[in-house]
Structure 1
Amino acid sequence: VRKLSEEISLQSQRFTENLKALSQRNEVQFPLERAQSALFEALEILNYDIIVTGHSLGAAVASMISMRLRETYPSLHCFAFNPPGGLASPAIAQLTQNFCTSIIVGCDVISRLSIATVKSLIDDVALSLCRCNRPKLKIAMDILLGLRKNPQSAPETYCAIDEIDEEVRKVLQEYLSYAQLHAKDVDARMLCPMGNIVFLRPYMMQDDRTEEWDAVYADPSDIINEGIIVSKHSMQHHKISVLQHALASAK
């Protein structure tokens, strides 16, 4: 193993030396060097400004990189499309409002994803399971047969909290007591998207398809406090195609 490691290290060293030799003779110009050269020329000679963009996880990377780059390029601005919700503390999010704009589409689940919202969703699921008075297989069949499209005619699924079975209620109380012990830790790790929040929301639906959108400013905490929305649109609104349509039709 030691001999193999030494051989690999020697080959790597020779490869690096060959690359340096080629670069010094200008026989090879690396893509990164070309990109840096074009960037510096545009910034220093043509007086261009830097715009940093990204989508989803790329939006998180763009936001973080922008904080570092702005030390060198004060005119930089970042546009983060559907960034993760658990990205930065509220204090940092406020500090980045001068140069960062986060665009969040509808009920996109990624932009609402954080420790606090996941815990809240788990709590809601636990309570729903305790209140459910119908077999889960029947509920699944109702969905497959389209029997739950109309809330007024849908079969009754949940009972009142005071009607929960005594044994189930004890289990629920134990769970809530345990969850309450860690509630302060979750609140201390409250995270949200960075910068100014532009919220694109659908306001007209036709044939189960979003037709029109409008754009409003929102507070980062409002997005997180709203929590994860369980909907068939939660992942659909994260798609770039939906983002493009929403931006094009936003008023």
Structure 2
Amino acid sequence: MPSGWGLVVTGHSLGAGVAALVGLKLRERFPLLRIWVYAAPGCLISRSVAESMSSFCTNVVLGQDWVPRANLLNAHSLRDSIMMASTHCRLPKLVVMYGSLMRCLPRRLREEQLFHETDRLPPEPAEVWRSYCRLTASPVMAPALNFVSPGRTLFLRPLEHQTRANRGKYEAVWLSVGALQAEGLLISRRCLADHFPGSILQALSALAKDGSAETLSQGLDMPNMAEKRGSNC
């Protein structure tokens, strides 16, 4: 590589995972390499490797995006919650699904109105629940349960108190390795919309317009161009 040039590897979603792994390998040859990834999967690498990448890898995540939060542990937790809700629910499943889609279910149902207690389940759902618990007692791929996303995370979140004046405004914060995965999967209307590149670009543009870019750049630990010109990449 010509003197004075730097190498940046980037990608989005699954491409972000590939970029992080490729960049990690290329780092041996190009010590000044930087990795910028967007919405990288939360089940990519071990915590120790992610921490070792913090100085040269930045993962940008928007709002309630589900992909950076998704690892095996969270997937198993979501699966368990769905199975428990479906076996313990008093209402017909079709009523729940249709009512949720059409927004025609009462907004404030008490827990006892929606769910049976475990020790009072009807025979059929009780047997389904017991069978499920037996089948999932020994987790598969246990070493990979706590994998996390690469590097350090630049988290873009909407302002907590949205008004007409600050609608579409964001703040950016640095998160420690594994912090997003510890939140678990967030099921909401935004968990897919926040994953799209256009949504991330819109949030970054809003931050730049507000003058937050200069503040953020102080914590990015970007390479010094003079050092780069004096190195042989």
Q: Does 1:79 align with 2:5?
A: no
Q: Is the 8 A contact 1:204 1:213 kept in 2?
A: no
Q: Does 1:142 align with 2:72?
A: no
- Show CA shifts across 1:33-65 (max 9, x none): xxxxxxx3xx31xx1222221111111121112
Percent identity at matched positions? 25
Q: Does 1:151 align with 2:111?
A: no
State which structure, 1 or 2, has the greater radius of gyration over its C-alpha atoms.
Answer: 1
Please name the residue that 1:108 is paired with. Answer: 65
Please name the residue that 2:50 is paired with. Answer: 93
Distance 1:170 1:200, change over 3 A: same
As a proportion of its length, which structure holds more helix? 1
Structure 1 residue matching 2:149: 3-state secondary structure = coil
Distance 1:199 1:162, change over 3 A: farther
Q: Residue 96 of structure 1: CA displacement?
A: 0.7
Distance 1:136 1:167, change over 3 A: closer
Structure 1 unpaired stretches of 5+? 1-39
List aligned pairs for 1:26-175, cutoff 5 A.
Answer: 40=1, 43-44=2-3, 47-148=4-105, 151-152=107-108, 156-175=113-132
The counterpart of 1:223, out of the listed 175, 180, 189, is 180
Please name the residue that 2:154 is paired with. Answer: 198
CA RMSD of aligned residues (A): 2.7
Q: Is the 8 A contact 1:204 1:211 kept in 2?
A: no
Structure 2 unpaired stretches of 5+? 213-233
Distance 1:188 1:82, change over 3 A: closer
Please name the residue that 1:9 is paired with. Answer: none
Instruction: Output the TM-score relative to the length of structure 1.
Output: 0.72
Instruction: Output the TM-score relative to the length of structure 2.
Output: 0.77
By relative contact order (CA 8 Å, sep 6+), the higher-ranking structure is: 2
Distance 1:163 1:216, change over 3 A: farther
Q: Residue 147 of structure 1: CA displacement?
A: 2.2
- Show CA shifts across 1:1-32 (max 9, x none): xxxxxxxxxxxxxxxxxxxxxxxxxxxxxxxx
Instruction: Work out the CA distance in 1 between the residues paired with 2:110 and 2:203.
Output: 32
